[in-house]
Structure 1
Amino acid sequence: MNHVVNPLTNHVANHSLLTESLSFSCHLGECRSELLPLLSEVSKVVSREGSLSKTLKLVLELMQKHLQVTRAMISLYDASCDQIFIHESFGLSREESEKGVYYPGEGITGKVVETRQPIIVPVIADEPLFLNRTGSWDRNLDSRLSFICVPIMRGMKVMGTIGVERLYNNRQLLHLDLEVLGIIATTIAQAVELHLLERAHKQVLQAQSARLNSELKEKFKPSNIIGNSKAMQSVYMMIDKVSHARTTVLILGESGVGKERVASAIHYNSSCAHGPFIKFNCASLPESVIESELFGHEKGAFTGAVARRAGRFEEAHGGTLFLDEVGELSPAVQAKLLRVIQERCFERLGSNESIKVNVRILAATHCDLTEMVEKGTFREDLFYRLNVFPITIPPLRERGNDILLLAEHFNAYFAKEQQVDVPTIATPALNLLLSYDWPGNVRELENLMERAVLLAEGGVIHSYNLPNGLQPAVLGELGGQSGLEARLSLMEYEIIVESLSRHQGNMSKAAAQLGLTRRMLGLRMAKYRLNYKDYRCGG
């Protein structure tokens, strides 16, 4: 069994006791005349500047040389994770050292840290607390070894341990070596404390760095755009990179993906955010009007021009002009737009006076401009002027769980607008939202949620509150039934799906919850073409 020894509190006094013990040790058959040189050399090693690992390696080498230990290890206590791990060792392989991890109170090393008391184990083989976690101890070869473990202390704070394994022919030498290890522990204590403080500081810095990286990711994400999908993260990074430049940006993507929101994010994160943000949809007006809207006109320039009017380029001076659906412009307007981009000047209709403007141009289109250039419907030189920094917005169907985030956002927004409590979106309804292809993208989802909030019953948006286009084919067919029959079928479908989802596809449990036999549930599932496998975890 082990012997707990009171900690050595005054190692200065122990030096004189140690000196008296040296001659006594020789009478025990093992002369320790080198102990004072050992302590002197340890003191010199610790006083030198260097890493703690290098210092402790030298200390272990000195212990092996002067104390002839079989194995020795210096373990440190990391309070942040409440673990004790071997920092440096002698007689252990790297793999064995890495296994030497303990919690306070666990094994002999953990007991020393927990109690802050040194422990002597006269015979390791007889000690139940000895865990041999490193796997280095061999019962056949090492059965007679003893083990000494002392705490490394600074004041009342324990920072680690020194442990040694050795064969003692005379057990009285155990207490002498305990004193030696105690003095070494005190000698290295300050260096260990500084190392642990530095380690803790690094951990704080790493935590701060991780937090800052998280904040930077959040910073990249514009406040006016919802979504955390990987597809959108790359868009946010592109927005962040181009916002602070004056570069012309071409925003590409299907109708309804939110190209205007991206343009807005670029403007309001740019150096011209204080200037105007003028939006113009190139497909919203007849060709005869677009030129006047973009460049302005003088009084009498055409029938109905009763006064001078500034165009969008003049209005955007000092700020940003967003040209949406730029692929819809006629060849004549394309030519004038190219000149403005190149020369930053234009003339109003009915005037020969050139007007200089300082405008950043952002353009967007759902068209394939490359294909239009090949067909000759879009000017190649204008395309290259606009396509300096393209950003492609992914369609909603490629944004995964962003669909649910957007649905919840619109749900809350329209509930507030309609002055009702925010309804819960039932699981079957969420499943339909996720499985739908969203040809109209975010705009379609927004319109759908406005309708769903109006139709919600009892504070819940059910699957039957969603348009027939979202329903599975079998429910779409049921939509052709009479109103009541279709309504009852949709409700039954939702109840079954809800139960299958709750029980992760377990038909027996779902049937029991619904008060049906497994066979009856199976028939109803067949009616709606439901498969229990689709509701299993990970399925």
Structure 2
Amino acid sequence: MDVGNPLHLLFELNGALLDGSGSGDHLTRALEILGRGMDLPRALVSLVDQRSGRLGIAASRGLSDRERDVLDGAGGDSMARNVVTSGEALTLPRLGDSPVFARRIAAANDSTIADRAFVCVPIESAVGVVGALGAELLPCDAQTLAAHTELLTTAASMIAWSVRPARGDADERQRLLEENRRLKDELKERFRPDNIVGNARPMREVFDLIGRVSASAATVMIRGESGVGKELVAQAIHWNSPRAQGPFVCVNCAALPKDLLESELFGHEKGAFTGALARRRGRFEIAAGGTLFLDEVGDFPPATQVLFLRFLQERVFERVGGNETIRADVRIITATNRNLEELVKSGNFREDLYWRLNVYPIHVPPLRERSTDIPLLAEHFAQASAERAGTTVKRLTPGAVELLTSYPWPGNVRELENAMERAVIESPDGVLRAQHLPPTLQSADASDPTTHGRTGTLADAVTRLERDLITETLRQTRGNRAAAARRLAITERQMGLRVERYSIDWRAFRRGADA
């Protein structure tokens, strides 16, 4: 259950709250954003009526009309009442362990519900606790639960402005506008092409294309293998375009069942199909005024291709089960790791749609074609992982760098990020060595020409470890070979031979290398 980009999620939530006055519709929109961004099966906002003091449901996601009526009739959700009374957040790592949820779990006849977590946080304004934001979460560990609780607490504070008395609205709205501008500036800075890690020539060409196309409204198709960072390129285009004031909405088409993709993109009317309990806006409506990023567009089923082509031609669509024609001003950016040309030849992808999408293609190179960027990316991911874990990273040893640069990286940047996260966990002292990297890196197929001759034998592993130890010890002794030899329990002659064998510049450590 990965939130993905919490900053972007909060920015989108803030924008939705600014669009309205805190009515039920806008609170429903807020829950829709949180639910989509955090994969929340169910969520609700409960508010205290200022006159009666009664707690009631103001907005919900994933609850049927009957469930809402039952909760409202009982004076709101019991968990929410406890949170409003105490003013403190409540977390349940597992619903099945709580007797409060036992009846609902039994009635649902779905064993997976018992493994979900639950979080309820107070909605607190200057006048006190005025409500609660509750949500069911997919099964997660304690660290993820804590991170999601923190994110929901932030969301609750942003929602609070909309339920304050009218006299406070002007001040709160101004505060929220300032927060919106701050988040927007931070996102624009984060996704500035200069801040995307990479100096290799293929990436410089990508940065150049981003700079050219950002200012236009052209449809962009981003090509590249899985894990190369296509979404990062799409976000860089959006946040450096005139549409940066609008939303950036991402849809992973491959992750959605084909029979739900049309509803997800175009929305649906109440009763359009079984389970359509209320009208729902699609991603095209949500992205109005901004950018819609469609990842894995090659997975579009034929029926959806027809509807998508119509939108690209006329910029209009209808919700599933509806007759109203809706116009949306949306910039389209697509991405795929599939060979669309072959799909067109085989009849699985419409040729006219292909040409509509392929207006401005950008190819993101695989990591093996930008190997000079690997040390930079590895250090970047290591520092980011250490920051999340509350630890520090001192450096990567030469042996680790050699191993990283010789591996073919079939999973590209995403695999490298995971590898560095593991290395940070494995390292006891903040120095990332070859042995801290995943076993897959240390047993790469010797027949692969991209491994640059590394055989992955025991002898090679011992050689890398020996070079690592000697280099690290020379660094610690500031290039004093005699002291390094004593630490490693070898003779000075043996140290000299190994320094020469591995071409280690021991003098560099005397010139101020950090011990």
Which TM-score bucket, shorter chain as reference?
0.5 to 0.7
Secondary structure, counterpart of 2:221 in structure 1: strand
**Residue 325, structure 1, aligned to residue 296, structure 2:** yes
**Residue 316, structure 1, aligned to residue 287, structure 2:** yes
Give 1:266 shift.
0.3
**Residue 436, structure 1, aligned to residue 395, structure 2:** no
Residues 94-118 of structure 1 show CA distances to partners (whole Å, capped at 9, x for unaligned) of xxxxxxxxxxxxxxxxxxxxxxxxx
Which one-letter code corresponds to 1:257 in the other structure? V
Correspondent of 2:336 among 351, 365, 375: 365
Report the Cα distance in structure 2 between the residues aligned to 1:296 and 1:220, rounded to whole angstroms. Answer: 29
Q: Does the C-alpha gap of structure 1 residues 284 and 334 become closer, same or farther in structure 2, counting only changes over 3 Å?
A: same
Paired residue for 2:157?
none
Q: Does the C-alpha gap of structure 1 residues 359 and 402 become closer, same or farther in structure 2, counting only changes over 3 Å?
A: same
Give 1:521 shift.
10
Paired residue for 1:12?
none
**Residue 446, structure 1, aligned to residue 417, structure 2:** yes
Report the Cα distance in structure 2 between the residues aligned to 1:320 and 1:431, rounded to whole angstroms. Answer: 40
Retained in 2: the 8 A contact 1:244–1:270? yes
Paired residue for 2:316?
345
Secondary structure, counterpart of 2:268 in structure 1: coil
Report the Cα distance in structure 1 between the residues aligned to 2:207 and 2:376, rounded to whole angstroms. Answer: 17
Equivalent residue runs for 1:380-395 within 5 Å = 380-395=351-366
Paired residue for 1:401?
372
Q: Does the C-alpha gap of structure 1 residues 453 and 376 become closer, same or farther in structure 2, counting only changes over 3 Å?
A: same
**Residue 417, structure 1, aligned to residue 388, structure 2:** yes
Retained in 2: the 8 A contact 1:403–1:434? yes
Report the Cα distance in structure 1 between the residues aligned to 2:415 and 2:279, rounded to whole angstroms. Answer: 40
Correspondent of 1:297 among 250, 256, 268: 268
Secondary structure, counterpart of 2:242 in structure 1: coil
Give 1:229 shift.
1.4
Report the Cα distance in structure 2 between the residues aligned to 1:404 and 1:238, rounded to whole angstroms. Answer: 24
Paired residue for 2:233?
262
**Residue 469, structure 1, aligned to residue 452, structure 2:** no
Unaligned runs of 5+ in 2: 1-188, 447-453, 475-480, 507-515
Correspondent of 1:244 among 215, 225, 228: 215
Retained in 2: the 8 A contact 1:347–1:355? yes
Which one-letter code corresponds to 1:286 in the other structure? P
| TM-score of the aligned structures, taking structure 1 as reference length | 0.51
Retained in 2: the 8 A contact 1:224–1:261? no
Q: Does the C-alpha gap of structure 1 residues 290 and 219 become closer, same or farther in structure 2, counting only changes over 3 Å?
A: closer
Residues 483-522 of structure 1 show CA distances to partners (whole Å, capped at 9, x for unaligned) of xxx9xx967741335547999xxxxx89x94625989999
Give 1:536 shift.
9.6
| TM-score of the aligned structures, taking structure 2 as reference length | 0.53
**Residue 306, structure 1, aligned to residue 277, structure 2:** yes
Which one-letter code corresponds to 1:383 in the other structure? Y
Retained in 2: the 8 A contact 1:427–1:498? no
Which one-letter code corresponds to 2:404 in the other structure? L
**Residue 494, structure 1, aligned to residue 494, structure 2:** no
Give 1:396 shift.
0.9
Correspondent of 2:307 among 309, 329, 336: 336
Q: Does the C-alpha gap of structure 1 residues 415 and 461 become closer, same or farther in structure 2, counting only changes over 3 Å?
A: same
Equivalent residue runs for 1:80-91 within 5 Å = none
Report the Cα distance in structure 2 between the residues aligned to 1:276 and 1:221, rounded to whole angstroms. Answer: 17
Secondary structure, counterpart of 1:278 in structure 2: strand
Give 1:416 shift.
0.9
Q: Does the C-alpha gap of structure 1 residues 344 and 287 become closer, same or farther in structure 2, counting only changes over 3 Å?
A: same
Unaligned runs of 5+ in 1: 1-217, 479-485, 504-508, 526-530
Retained in 2: the 8 A contact 1:221–1:236? no
Which one-letter code corresponds to 1:457 in the other structure? P
Q: Does the C-alpha gap of structure 1 residues 373 and 521 become closer, same or farther in structure 2, counting only changes over 3 Å?
A: farther
Equivalent residue runs for 1:154-193 within 5 Å = none
Which one-letter code corresponds to 1:450 in the other structure? E
